[in-house]
């Protein structure tokens, strides 16, 4: 199998290389693709230096799977070209997520709907992935009517320049501002651009993508906040169910969900935190408790490494699905 990683030098691209380096997926060739300023440099993979090439040049080779982690505009332009050349495209940008002809895939939830004709496969937003991982089995049993979600997102979701801004401000140095305000010692209720309805694009991704993955009938509202931490997204989630529930049954459902770990011993100070999620592929859930202010409602706290299960790991799981389903034969 021949694979191209487009956006190989970015935060997600590097973790994709790291995961593939340790995986048992058999590769014939792996190509590192990046912008012109990185072409000619090298990325180490399984002890070998892989020379970075341009997107134009990589198309001269046979490509079975192209993984895109390089932004919406590039994906819109180049993903169809890779498909014309016979490749499957797994895309980490927002370019194709809400396209009605494309399936938004989280393998543990809806991997079964992936078909051989699905040549462009969008990866959901990182915040969406960890939320639906935590709640999808609850929805299957109890039917979720409404979700209120507030996110507390690390700066790694914005990229290297955001990390540089935080480090510079922490050391009282000047740097390029990725955010409109100081991020160090601050919390900014502004993730991505604002839309006309007063919500940010990040908040609307949580709404629209969750409706597409789980159920279009769920009412959802979101607030997304950026925090000065370098890794891991956290979410406070309030859900209202159609049916009455036992809180212990809810915890059992979470505990038995694939890819989800319940950490819910608050009186022993045991609950999910982003510092403990970094470098791990699971979604962590804790602080599960009944919402006594609203009938059939409950609260939970959900944490995940946004660069791994929120992006790179989910991508490689989709890649494994393509292999397991025999689509590449």
Contact call for residues 285 and 165 (beta carbons, < 8 A): no
Spatial neighbors of 287 by CB under 8 A, at least 6 apart, are: 264, 266, 271, 299, 300, 301
Residues with a catalytic annotation lie at 126, 233
Please report the beta strands in the chain, taking only residues with DSSP state E, as ranges in sequence order.
2-6, 29-33, 42-45, 48-53, 65-68, 88-91, 120-122, 144-153, 219-226, 233-241, 260-262, 283-290, 297-304
CB 294 within 8 Å of CB 66: no
> CB–CB of 314/123 below 8 Å?
yes
Place of tokens 């090298």: 42
Query: Which residues have a Cβ under 8 Å from the Cβ of 95 and sit 6 or more positions away?
Result: 72, 73, 75, 76, 79, 122
Contact between 53 and 46 under an 8 Å Cβ cutoff? The reply is no
């Amino acid at each position: 199998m021949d694979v191209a990683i487009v956006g190989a030098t970015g935060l997600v691209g590097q973790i994709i290389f790291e995961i593939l380096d340790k995986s048992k997926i058999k590769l014939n060739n792996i190509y590192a693709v990046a912008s012109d300023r990185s072409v000619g440099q090298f990325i180490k993979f399984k002890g070998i230096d892989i020379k970075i090439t341009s997107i134009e040049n990589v198309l001269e080779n046979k490509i079975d799977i192209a993984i895109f982690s390089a932004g919406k505009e590039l994906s819109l332009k180049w993903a169809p070209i890779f498909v014309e050349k016979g490749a499957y495209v797994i895309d980490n940008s927002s370019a194709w997520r809400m396209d009605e002809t494309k399936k938004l895939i989280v393998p543990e939830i809806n991997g079964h709907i992936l078909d051989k004709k699905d040549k462009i496969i969008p990866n959901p937003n990182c915040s969406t992935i960890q939320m639906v991982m935590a709640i999808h089995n609850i929805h299957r049993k109890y039917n979720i009517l409404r979700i209120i979600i507030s996110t507390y997102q690390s700066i790694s979701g914005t990229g290297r320049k955001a990390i540089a801004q935080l480090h510079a401000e922490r050391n009282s140095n000047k740097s390029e501002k990725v955010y409109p305000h100081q991020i160090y010692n601050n919390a900014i209720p502004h993730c991505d651009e604002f839309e006309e309805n007063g919500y940010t694009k990040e908040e609307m991704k949580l709404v629209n993508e969750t409706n597409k993955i789980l159920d279009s009938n769920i009412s959802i509202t979101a607030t997304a906040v950026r925090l000065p931490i370098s890794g891991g997204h956290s979410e406070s989630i309030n859900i209202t169910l159609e049916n009455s529930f036992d809180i212990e049954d809810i915890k059992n459902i979470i505990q038995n969900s694939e890819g989800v770990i319940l950490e819910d011993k608050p009186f022993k100070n045991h609950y999910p935190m982003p510092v403990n999620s970094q470098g791990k592929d699971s979604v962590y859930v804790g602080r599960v408790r009944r919402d006594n202010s609203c009938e059939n409602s409950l609260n939970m706290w959900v944490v995940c490494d946004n660069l791994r299960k929120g992006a790179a790991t989910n991508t490689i799981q989709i890649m494994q699905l393509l292999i397991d389903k025999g689509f590449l034969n």
